[in-house]
Structures are given as C-alpha cells and as structure tokens.
Amino acid sequence: MDPWSTLLAKANAERQLAADGRWDELAASTAERVRLAAALGPAPRGARLVLEALAAVQDELTTTLESAREETMRELAGLRTSRGAVAGYAAAQSARTRSWVSDSA
C-alpha cells in the first residue's frame, strides 16, 4: 500500500473510533497520522484521488468531533443546572429543620 493510501486507511479507522466515542484512541491515531503525513513531503500527482478522499474523511471527522463537543457542552450545562437545583433543595430542607421559634420560653 502506498503511503497516501495508508493515511486514508488510518483516517477511515479514525472515523470509526470517533463514531464509537473512543476519544483517547482517536487522539493517539490522529497524532500518528499527522506525524506520518508530515514525513511524506509533497504529494505526487497520482495521489490526487486519495487526497480528495482523505479530505472528505477529515471533514466527516471534524463534523463528528464538533457534534461530540456540543453534546458534551449540553451535558455539562445540565450538570450545572442539576447541581443548582440540588443545592436549592438542600437549602430548603435545612430551613425546615431549623427551629426559629423556641417553644421553651
């Protein structure tokens, strides 16, 4: 397999890692792919179709990562909202258990 096709194969594997939410493996694979690409130098004319396919896969990866980031941000916002509600419930419960009026007077 030529090195450009190897890059495409790695990108396709990364697309599956992203779809599966395997972020640590994706980060390691992407770093390796970037290292391999940097070592190749300029692409020959014959690699044009492979590079176009690689660009399409990279666009899909970027879209998947952006969607995952947005979902994570929504989840974090929900946690903040939940945490505030829990604090409110705790304060309300605490206020009920306090004795503001003493019956012993």
Number of domains in the chain: 1
Question: Taking the alpha carbons of 9, 14, 15, 20 in that order, is the dihedral positive or negative?
Answer: positive
Residue 77 has what pLDDT? Answer: 87
Region label for 64, one of left (φ > 0), alpha (ψ between -120 and 50) or beta (otherwise): alpha
* Vertex 37: Cα angle to 34 and 41 (nearest 5): 140
Residue 78 has what pLDDT? Answer: 86
Is 57 among the domain residues? yes
CA distance 6 to 27: 17
Is 59 among the domain residues? yes
Is 74 among the domain residues? no
Is 13 among the domain residues? yes
- Cβ atoms 12, 1 nearer than 8 A: no
Residue 79 has what pLDDT? Answer: 83
- The tens place of each residue's pLDDT in the chain, 105 residues long, gives 899 999 999 999 999 999 999 999 999 999 999 999 999 999 999 999 999 999 999 999 999 999 999 999 999 888 877 666 666 666 666 655 555 555 565
Residue 53 has what pLDDT? Answer: 98
CA distance 17 to 104: 68
Q: Which domain holds residue 56?
A: 1-66
Is 28 among the domain residues? yes
Residue 7 has what pLDDT? Answer: 96
Residue type at position 21: G
